[in-house]
Chain A
Amino acid sequence: MLGQILNLTWKELIQLRRDRFLVLFLIVAPTLQLVLLSHNTARGVRDLSVAVLDLNQSDLSRALIAAVDNTQEMQVLYHPRHRQELEALILDGMAQVGLVIPPTFTRDFYRLGARPAQLQALLDGSNLLVGSNGGRVLEGVVQRFIADRLGLSEQALDVGGVEVVTVAAFNPAFDYRWFTLPSMLVFITYQVALVVAATGFVREKELGTLEQLIMTPLRRPELIIGKALPAVLVALFNFLLLYAVIRLGYDVPMRGHFALLLGTSLLFILAVVAQGTLVSVLSHTQQQAVLIVFLMAILEVTLSGYLLPVENMPLLMRGLAQLSALQHHMTLVRAIILRGATLPMVGHHILAMTAFTVIGYAVAWRTFTRFV
């Protein structure tokens, strides 16, 4: 039985190799993609572009602008001359933060007016990170600026109330790559496994060669396993390659056990290949299979917790997310790599993926038997 399966697997691998573009897409492209995409997400809330409308034009206002520019989070790029120009910069998305320094800034600052100097900050709320963090950053800058200018210690400015200090556990530097790279590792493995598995049977069906395969002495389970193995091997190879790139190229920490990561990844690949095989057996044409896979990929990516955390989804969607192997594995990989989670902590994810694998193959086998 094993020999039969391996024969079929070998045939599939030879077929895969014939397609030159396919080899390119399976091996070169994922790595390139990872390298390319990792640059984007490295920074996060850094270097927000700021436009300052300085109506005061004094030493004090220029010092404040320099203080804003000196932060890691903000970068003063534009100096509009009037209000319309400032608003246009924000509207166009050139500037993410707008700061207006009023004409009476210096006078009010040194208490020649009756009220404190008012600074107006305009934040672009169409991007969430800017909208939620820009104001806090500015307030911090202003606090330090005041203390610095008036030669006061921070205590002298103590007005009471509550101060909140924020810390990110497991990722003290708020490095976004630690989040995006493991997510991409999972996503790229997912798409490779899914696509190879989904086009396996239906391609033979469409080209009319499935009949020939059925006429061979291969039995049904052998046929299904033999067809699935190449997808598993290719995806596993991709996973190992990308894991090496992440660890060696980007210094992402590995806080859990590699054996646990490897084991769960293999299980994940099996679950995804089962999903793909099921699509392949159920579809009549490749176009159908591929469109289903594409839709599935879009849906699963949105449910995966990458774009928004699962607990923020409405109830129905949280339920659906529990049915997605991609979501389980994304959660699991972050837990193992970054938080050093151990087997008992991620047990329910493993259980879910095992269930998907068993059910997927069982249904595929049933359908296939009926088809024949």
Chain B
Amino acid sequence: MLVAFAYLFSFDTIHIPFAYYDGDHSVASQQLLMALTTDRRLRLVGAVAGYEDLRTAMQAGRVRIGLVIPSGFGADLVAGRTATVQLVGDGSDPITAAVQMARLADRITEWGLPYRRWHPTIPIDVRGLVWFNPYLRSSHSMVPALLAIVLILPGMAVALALTREKELGSFESLAATPVRPVEYILGKLIPYLVYGLVGAFGAVAVALVWFRVPLRGSVLDLAGMTLVYLLATLGVTTFVAGFMATQSTALRAVLLLFLVPSVFLSGILLPVDPQTRLTAETLPATHFVVIARGIFLKGQSWQALGRPLFILMLMALLSLSLSVLTLQKRVD
């Protein structure tokens, strides 16, 4: 299952539905279109007759990005003046539009470089350098972060196992045995911890072999910190499950309090926002996203990741001891 899940995130083949309006019909505009569409990154839908046509095609979802080449484009370019083109992206998905348009704009600018004149009045030269992910592969950024989501599954399973015993009434008979709360919780957790580690191993293997995400840090660091993350998620879900009477409420609690915020808030897709930083910090996933990207892409060691590691340890310790305490009280 983990394998299937991680398999989803191979974005290196890109088929953006693309349309163009060529108002210039010059050699230069034809060459630009050729240069953009010969590799398979853009899926050429066809030419449009104008803005209205482009809008309708985008409305129906047939086109994601449109390129508008105005008349005079070729003449400007050849004369050494700056020629302008317009990219129209589908704003109903602004994140994708922003990333895709930025990439396409870079390619168009690069295509136009040979037409530039050497100009002695430009006194600054900006050299951009993208670190950690020089080709901006989405999979390299997303796959390590998604480990945080996949590894919530063992926590979900534990919450269900605990509430199931309550619901079926077998919890009372367990409480009557001489098993102490600490032993009960640890005994419940350890199998799921092992299952989580095995799952994590599989997911990491898929990330490395299938997605070719570089692992620049140490495997031991990754293993140790995954263990801490699993402890933290298991601890928090165990604690929450302690208050739930039925499996269906436990499921809803984990979905709403845990999974959904982790998907939206933890910085997987958008950087963590200052406004919601506090909420995001209470989620173990936020810290693990930092850790996973740190170890995979930045090659950081556990010393460099001390802050998120410390917070996760604290979460694990706190939630587990609180779970034991609440259980103790219930048994008494």
Which residues of A come within 8 Å of B, CB atoms?
Answer: 19, 21-22, 25-26, 29-30, 33, 36-37, 39-45, 47-48, 90-93, 96, 108-111, 115-136, 138-139, 142, 145-146, 150, 152, 156-172, 174-176, 178-180, 184, 187-188, 191, 195, 199, 203, 206, 285-287, 290-291, 293-295, 297-299, 301-303, 305, 307-309, 311-314, 316-317, 331, 334-335, 338-341, 345
Contact = CB atoms under 8 A, between A and B. Distances in A.
Contacts of B131: 90, 122-125
A164 B87 contact: yes
A131 B61 contact: no
A2 to B, nearest CB: 28
Contacts of A133: 98-99, 102
Contacts of B260: 33, 37, 187-188, 191
A195 B129 CA distance: 47
A249 to B, nearest CB: 16
**Smallest CB-CB A-B distances: 8 pairs:** A171-B91, A162-B112, A125-B133, A168-B91, A135-B128, A161-B112, A338-B92, A164-B105
B14 A164 contact: no
B261 A195 contact: no
B81 A158 contact: yes
Given A25-B256, A167-B86, A309 B96 contact: yes
B123 A160 contact: no
Nearest to B56: A345
Given A93-B290, A335-B92, A164 B8 contact: no
Given A132-B102, A161-B109, A174-B97, 18 more contacts: A44-B98, A91-B304, A125-B130, A126-B141, A161-B77, A164-B87, A165-B85, A166-B87, A168-B97, A176-B270, A290-B156, A294-B156, A299-B5, A308-B96, A314-B13, A317-B8, A338-B92, A339-B90
Contact of B141 (A40, A128, A138, A206): A128
23 contacts: A21-B252, A25-B252, A36-B261, A36-B279, A40-B265, A41-B264, A139-B126, A142-B124, A160-B82, A160-B112, A160-B117, A162-B82, A163-B83, A166-B88, A167-B87, A168-B89, A176-B270, A179-B92, A191-B255, A206-B167, A290-B247, A294-B251, A313-B10
B129 A120 contact: yes
Nearest to B248: A199
Contacts of A166: 86-89, 101-102, 105
Contact of B80 (A160, A175, A179, A305): A160
A345 B61 CA distance: 8
Contact of B123 (A116, A136, A298): A116
A171 B106 CA distance: 22
Nearest to A137: B102
B249 to A, nearest CB: 4
A129 B89 contact: no
Contacts of A47: 274
A126 B10 CA distance: 16
A162 B98 contact: no
B92 A146 contact: no
Contact of B99 (A36, A129, A294): A129
A295 B255 CA distance: 11
A162 B249 contact: no
A121 B124 contact: no
Interface string B251-286: 111111001110111011111111110011000000
Contacts of B77: 160-162
Contact of A125 (B98, B136, B244, B294): B136
